[in-house]
């Protein structure tokens, strides 16, 4: 019972307190705000310790059960080796830590993301069809933007780039703004529900 009541009470107390604090420009209110910011930094740092503990525990359990031993082994080995280099050797620009980052992590992650271009080209060729009016409009808008934002678009006609910019500035922005206002109102409603303890999914279980 207390395991749920105490977090709910803390959320209610700080939710109301910080909402009220925002509207009070008094030095005491300001000091409270700065103190809460300091605490937030401390809590975030502690969360990293929890995350690291969870990662190690998860992969260690997998190795113990002989599930994907190689993958989990590589993860733990890489994790401890990089942590050792970072904590006890050096993190300067000419260090082994930085060399491994620049020559292993950077190309691996950049390559994985770059593959998207190939998948997208293949998917567009197979599935991007002018089946109805909406799909045709989408197709035409895509063509305008794809040509308008590359230098060739400007070479075809200078107005092409302007038209692509207009698509982004007017129809795109109108839709985005509507979505953002909706998301903002939704966020306020959800925050109020969390502060009042109506929405409790974040407690888990």
Partner 1 sequence: MNNLIHKLTHLNRQTIYGILALGIILPLLFPLRLPEHVSPPVQRLYDYIESLPEGSAILLSVDFGPDVLPETYPMFLAVLRHAMARNIRVIGICLNPAGIGLGLEGIQKVAKELHKQYGTDYVYLGFKPNLGATMLGLGEDVHKVFPTDYYGTPIDSLPLFRNVRNYNDIALVVSFSGASHPALWVAYANARYGEKIAAGVTGVMAADYYPYLQTGQFVGMLAGMKGAAEYEYLVEKLFREKGLPTPPPFAIRGMDSISIAHLLIIVLVIIGNIGYFMERKQKGA
Tell me which residues touch partner 1 (CB under 8 A): 33-34, 37-38, 40-41, 43-45, 47-48, 91-93, 98, 101-102, 105-110, 112-114, 117-118, 120-122, 124-126, 128-130, 139, 142-143, 146-147, 149-152, 154-155, 158, 161, 165, 168-169, 172-173, 176-177, 180
Q: How near is the Cβ of 5 to partner 1 at its closest, in Å?
A: 26
**Nearest approach, Cβ of residue 11 and partner 1 (Å):** 16
The residue (of 69 and 188) whose beta carbon lies closer to partner 1 is 188
Smallest distance from partner 1 to CB 24, Å: 14
Q: Smaller CB distance to partner 1: residue 107 or 186?
A: 107
Please say whether the beta carbons of 187 and 7 come within 8 A: no
By C-beta, is 64 or 172 nearer to partner 1? Answer: 172
H-helix segments, the chain: 2-22, 27-64, 69-84, 96-100, 106-127, 133-148, 151-156, 158-167, 173-195
Nearer to partner 1, 63 or 147 (CB): 147
DSSP symbols for 86-142: IIII--STTSHHHHHIIIIIHHHHHHHHHHHHHHHHHHHHHH----SHHHHHHHHHH
Cβ nearer to partner 1, comparing 34 with 134: 34
Residue 201 is given by DSSP the state: G
Contact between 195 and 10 (Cβ < 8 Å): no
In whole angstroms, how close is the CB of 66 to partner 1 at the nearest point? Answer: 30
Cβ atoms 8, 202 nearer than 8 A: no
Q: Which is nearer to partner 1, 64 or 99 (CB)?
A: 99
**79 in Cβ contact with 56 (< 8 Å):** yes
Shortest separation between residue 97's beta carbon and partner 1, angstroms: 8
CB of 36 to partner 1, least distance (A): 9
* Six-digit token string for 167: 């698509």
């Amino acid at each position: 019972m207390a395991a749920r009541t105490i977090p709910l009470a803390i959320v209610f107390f700080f939710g109301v307190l910080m909402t009220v604090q925002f509207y009070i420009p008094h030095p005491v209110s300001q000091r409270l705000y700065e103190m809460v910011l300091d605490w937030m930094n401390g809590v975030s740092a502690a969360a990293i310790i929890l995350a690291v503990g969870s990662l190690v525990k998860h992969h260690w359990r997998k190795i113990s059960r002989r599930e994907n031993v190689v993958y989990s082994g590589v993860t733990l080995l890489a994790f401890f080796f990089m942590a050792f280099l970072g904590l006890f050797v050096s993190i300067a620009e000419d260090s082994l830590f930085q060399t491994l980052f620049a020559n292993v992590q950077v190309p691996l992650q950049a390559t994985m993301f770059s593959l998207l271009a190939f998948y997208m080209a293949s998917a567009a060729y197979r599935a991007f069809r002018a089946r109805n009016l909406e799909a045709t409009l989408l197709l035409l808008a895509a063509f305008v933007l794809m040509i308008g934002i590359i230098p060739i678009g400007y070479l075809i006609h200078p107005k092409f780039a302007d038209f692509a910019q207009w698509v982004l500035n007017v129809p795109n922005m109108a839709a985005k703004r509507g979505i953002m206002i909706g998301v903002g109102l939704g966020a306020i409603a959800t925050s109020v529900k969390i502060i009042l303890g109506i929405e409790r999914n974040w407690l888990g279980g």
